[in-house]
Amino acid sequence: MNTYKIAPSILSADYANFEAELKKLETTGAEYVHIDIMDGHFVPNISFGAGVVAAMRPHSKLVFDCHLMVSNPEHHIEDFARAGADIISIHAEATLHIHGALQKIRAAGVKPSVVINPGTPVEAVKNVLNLVDQVLVMTVNPGFGGQAFLPETMDKIRELVVLREVNGLNFDIEVDGGIDNQTVGLAKEAGANVFVAGSYVFKGDVKAQVATLKDALNA
Ligand code: DX5
Ligand code: ZN
């Protein structure tokens, strides 16, 4: 049984106060901090790089779940490993060499995770499922926080659950985008067990917001 984990996305936090924001997250019972890296090329928006992740690292004991929305992520793996990433997610659409790039993450001592956009079928990652600790199914088009959840992505989670079972594999299934106390239940029913939430967590008291997600998962 893959246990449920909440991954608040720091993309919706106060960028001038990461230290305080990370300390607050530590009190919520969330397991991960989701860190969105955007390059202005693979996605239209630019967020922050490995230097910022390294600066955050001493201020949190939570698992750093780094989501690289960058072209050719294989060029940046060592930097994020050195910065203190525990999990590195890279997009199947962002490189011609997803297999080798995932191996590179493992070789750097970090847990590899592969991501698919809403328009990308599960088929695109079928041949690398044996290399990963996590598959991230985007539930919005990547680039910005605060977008609406796309329910049509749930079928892909169901497909992944079957593939995991049939092939005797053991990876977590993460969802990212538009997760709130309603949609978290839809993703859980489909078979996801790691839930990223940005705007929903940071729009109020982070501890109370995370508690509503945990309640919805336990309902
Ligand atoms: C979107 C990012 C998400 C983002 C989610 O491109 O990958 O992690 O922070 O934000 P919400 O939860 O507001 O949809
Ligand atoms: Zn993300």
Quote the pTM value. 0.98
Would you give the distance in Å from CA 134 to the centre of its chain? 9
* pLDDT-derived band at 130, boundaries 50, 70, 90: very high
Mean pLDDT of 31-43: 98
CATH (domain of 152): 3.20.20.70
Would you give the distance in Å from CA 112 to the centre of its chain? 11
At 98-120, the pLDDT tens digits run 999 999 999 999 999 999 999 99
Q: Running DSSP on this structure, what letter comes out for residue 9?
A: B
- Rounded distance, CA 213 to CA 183, Å? 10
Which ligand 1 atom is the nearest neighbour of the CA of 9?
9
Which ligand 1 atom is the nearest neighbour of the CA of 138?
7
At 51-90, the pLDDT tens digits run 999 999 999 999 999 999 999 999 999 999 999 999 999 9
Distance 65 CA to ligand 2 centre (A): 9
* pLDDT-derived band at 2, boundaries 50, 70, 90: confident
Q: Under a CB-based contact definition with an 8 Å cutoff, are residues 68 and 74 in contact?
A: no
Residue 70: CA count within 13 A, CB half-sphere: 23
The three-state DSSP-derived secondary structure of 33-65 is: EEEEEEECCCCCCECCCHHHHHHHHHHCCCEEE
Domain hosting 120: range is 5-218
Mean pLDDT of 10-21: 97
Pocket, ligand 1, Cβ cutoff 6 A: 9, 11-12, 34, 36, 67, 140, 142-147, 176-179, 196-200
Q: CB within 5 A of ion ligand 2: which residues?
A: 36, 67, 176
Residue 64 exposed, middle or buried by CB count within 10 Å (0-12, 13-18, 19+): buried
Domain count for the chain: 1
- Our CA dihedral for 205, 8, 142, 41, rounded to 10 degrees, sits at 100
Report helix, strand and coil shares of the chain as percent, to nearest 5: 45, 20, 35
